[in-house]
């Protein structure tokens, strides 16, 4: 005979495995987006138009992953009525997949500029700056996803801080590119393509920051958007409501 306790136990096991499944789908989507970004940057730096075309192909599978996770989150909300940390996890993932999908969009754009630039042949000035910021942004996205995998709020907070230095690098790179354009007006259209790539990278940095904010919300229950670093540090020392 199956007792009521066995039955509840069974339900809760199934529920837990649904939650695990969402988390692992989310991390799989993250891995895919990270690869798309890395390949887009490699395609750009190496003028590899085949790789750029491949990056554009990822788009559909990433969108499909987003829709699947989103559906699954809604299903769990409707059927399991999660509370406390489970509810926060569903909500955090529901928002984080939007950022992942947008990182995918920006990587798609970078691949488009990689194609445009590889057709023009000559490597324009501004590549050094792009490579540098590209590496930093790639690292940020990796760390943000890793903090999700390990539920590590300190790591997530470090990503948030890193976004500030990306913004500074972005500004100085933009100024350098502006000088190149003035020195050689014939290069304007090419340098502008690099400028758009930098803009996309700066955006991706913002999205990585958002991912980290969601992870802090998930673990700590604290909404750290629009909040100073000092206040965030305080929030990290407290336990969830």
**End-to-end alpha carbon distance in the chain:** 40
Q: How far is the CB of 166 from its own copies (least distance, A)?
A: 16
Member of 161, 225, 229, 238 binding its own copies (CB under 8 A): 225
Name which of residues 74 to 133 contact its own copies (CB under 8 A).
74, 77-78, 81, 83-84, 87, 91, 94-95, 98
Member of 4, 5, 226, 239 binding its own copies (CB under 8 A): 226
Applying CB under 8 A, what is the total number of residues that bind its own copies?
29
Determine if 13 is a binding residue for its own copies (CB under 8 A): no
Determine if 71 is a binding residue for its own copies (CB under 8 A): yes
Instruction: Tell me, residue by residue from 199 to 218, as one string, x for binding to its own copies by CB under 8 A and - for no binding.
Output: x-------------------
Determine if 182 is a binding residue for its own copies (CB under 8 A): yes
Helices 84-119 and 4-45, axial angle in degrees (round to 10): 20
Determine if 181 is a binding residue for its own copies (CB under 8 A): yes
Stretch that binds its own copies, among 10-18, 45-53, 59-67, 158-166 (CB under 8 A): 59-67
**Residue (87 or 236) nearer to its own copies, CB:** 87
Cβ pair 177, 126 in contact under 8 A: yes
Stretch that binds its own copies, among 17-25, 113-121, 133-141, 188-196 (CB under 8 A): 188-196
Determine if 223 is a binding residue for its own copies (CB under 8 A): yes
Q: How far is the CB of 46 from its own copies (least distance, A)?
A: 26
> DSSP readout, the chain?
---HHHHHHHHHHHHHHHHHHHHHHHHHHHHHHHHHHHHHHHHHHTT-HHHHHHHHHHHHHHHHHHHHHHHHHHHHHHHH---HHHHHHHHHHHHHHHHHHHHHHHHHHHHHHHHHHHHT-SPPTTHHHHHHHHHHHHHHHHHHHHHHHHT-HHHHHHHHHHHHHHHHHHHHHHHHHHHHHHH-GGGHHHHHHHHHHHHHHHHHHHHHHHHHHHHHHHHH----TT--HHHHHHHHHSPP-
**Residue (150 or 229) nearer to its own copies, CB:** 229
Q: Which residues bind its own copies (CB under 8 A)?
A: 60, 63, 66-67, 70-71, 74, 77-78, 81, 83-84, 87, 91, 94-95, 98, 178, 181-182, 185-186, 188-189, 192, 199, 223, 225-226
């Amino acid at each position: 005979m199956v007792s009521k306790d066995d039955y509840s136990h069974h339900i809760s096991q199934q529920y837990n495995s649904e939650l695990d499944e969402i988390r692992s789908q989310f991390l799989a989507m993250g891995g895919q987006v990270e690869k798309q970004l890395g390949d887009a940057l490699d395609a750009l730096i190496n003028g590899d138009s085949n790789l750029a075309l491949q990056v554009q192909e990822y788009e559909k599978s990433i969108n499909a992953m987003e829709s699947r996770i989103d559906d699954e989150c809604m299903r769990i909300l409707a059927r399991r009525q999660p509370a406390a940390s489970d509810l926060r996890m569903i909500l955090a993932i529901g928002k984080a997949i939007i950022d992942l999908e947008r990182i995918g969009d920006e990587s798609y754009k970078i691949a488009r500029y990689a194609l445009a630039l590889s057709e023009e042949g000559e490597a324009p000035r501004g590549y050094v700056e792009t490579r540098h910021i590209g590496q930093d942004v790639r690292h940020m996205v990796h760390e943000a996803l890793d903090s999700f995998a390990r539920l590590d709020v300190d790591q997530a907070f470090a990503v948030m801080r890193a976004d500030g230095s990306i913004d500074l690098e972005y500004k100085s790179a933009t100024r350098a590119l502006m000088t190149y354009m003035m020195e050689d007006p014939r290069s304007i259209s090419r340098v502008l393509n690099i400028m758009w790539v930098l803009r996309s990278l700066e955006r991706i940095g913002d999205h990585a920051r958002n991912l980290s904010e969601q992870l802090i919300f998930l673990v700590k229950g604290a909404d750290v958007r629009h909040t100073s670093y000092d206040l965030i540090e305080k929030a990290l020392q407290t336990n969830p409501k």
